[in-house]
Amino acid sequence: MSIKGPAIFLAQFAGDEAPFNNLENISKWASELGYIGVQIPSWDARLFDLKKASESKDYCDEVKGTLSSYGLSLTELSTHLQGQLVAVHPAYDVAFDGFAAPEVRGNAKARQEWAVNQLMMAADASQNLGLTEHVTFSGALAWPYVYPWPQRPAGLVETAFDELANRWKPILNKFDQCGINLCYEIHPGEDLHDGITFEMFLDRVGNHTRCNMLYDPSHYVLQHLDYLQNIDIYHEKIKMFHVKDAELNPSGKQGVYGGFQSWKERAGRFRSLGDGQVDFKSIFSKLTTYGFEGWAVLEWECALKHPEDGAREGSEFIKRHIIRETEKAFDDFADSGADDAANKKMLGI
């Protein structure tokens, strides 16, 4: 087996104009670019009805049928926006209100309840669709204090992570009942933004078997984190893979924080595949070595290149990097066919 792909996350491409305005049109577009899988944002009603999918296997069969007619598979559903709303620090109430349904905006408690229900429906929908993984964000209570001044009071972070875990445990249990791995995209802005914070959370949810990771090296490049060693450490928990490039070019004027500049002007910025600094050859090699059999999904975010160009180039880029594992050793031709007796003779025993 090998990594599956190429696939594409549709969130950054969905829009009101054809071919991005419905599942039929965007599927045809993705297929013509050479993709064989799509990851669907569950919040975008132009492409998908989450409530209907959670209740109707017939609807789910229709979705899969539409994709299949263009040679596509559904890789996973995403609840990035809804997961974000499971835990929102009050400082971000206004900024994140737009992620929620209009009827719960301006009401933090109702908004959180809505978000949790969205995740519960996503578990049912994923099961109805025959999926095995799902991606989301953790949300954040402690993020405003990530680099604090004045210093954090004792126990602040611990209290935040205790509460975060309490909010997610019922959701993780629901995903477990449905047989789905819940994969958190490890991402700055979320309380789960690196390996240490993931471990803090994992410990508090009792090492829940459904608590897993989406691996996206771009977010590690921008933190100056060793994204290859990260695979060595967490490969058993990495169940999903976003193929996204980035670059970090610190100067005498700015570094990882970006100086409040626009994406184009930051030292650290996302790039289209092949235009950044990520060593994808090593990433694909490591994931293949550890037996990762999930999807390689393009997530396009670039400060410079047009998204349609990034999507077209990304398909071929992923194809070139997927490794078909060999079933034989390169030196099989030199096999002497020795048996146990011959081996002992060679060792003088």
Residues 6+ away with beta carbon under 8 Å from 144: 89, 91
Backbone angles phi, psi at 133, to 5 degrees: -135, 160
What is the Cα–Cα distance from 296 to 240, expressed in whole angstroms?
Answer: 8
- pLDDT recorded at residue 334: 59
In this structure, what token pair is assigned to residue 215? 């691996």
CA atoms within 13 A on the CB side of 90: 0
How many domains are contained in the chain?
A: 1
Q: Which amino acid is at 336?
A: S
CATH number assigned to the domain comprising residue 245:
3.20.20.150
State the residue for tokens 């299949």.
68
At CA 21, angle to CA 19 and CA 27, rounded to 5? 55
- pLDDT recorded at residue 3: 98
- pLDDT recorded at residue 345: 87
- pLDDT recorded at residue 127: 98
Residues 6+ away with beta carbon under 8 Å from 70: 27, 28, 30, 31
- pLDDT recorded at residue 333: 58
- pLDDT recorded at residue 93: 96
CA atoms within 13 A on the CB side of 25: 12
- pLDDT recorded at residue 126: 98
Mean pLDDT, 10 residues at a time, the chain of 349 residues: 94 98 98 98 98 98 98 98 98 97 97 98 98 98 96 97 98 98 98 98 98 98 98 98 98 97 97 98 98 98 97 98 80 70 90
Positions of E strands within the chain: 4-9, 37-41, 73-79, 133-136, 181-185, 211-215, 238-243, 245-248, 268-271, 295-298
Q: Which domain holds residue 200?
A: 4-347
Cβ(5)–Cβ(295) below 8 Å: yes
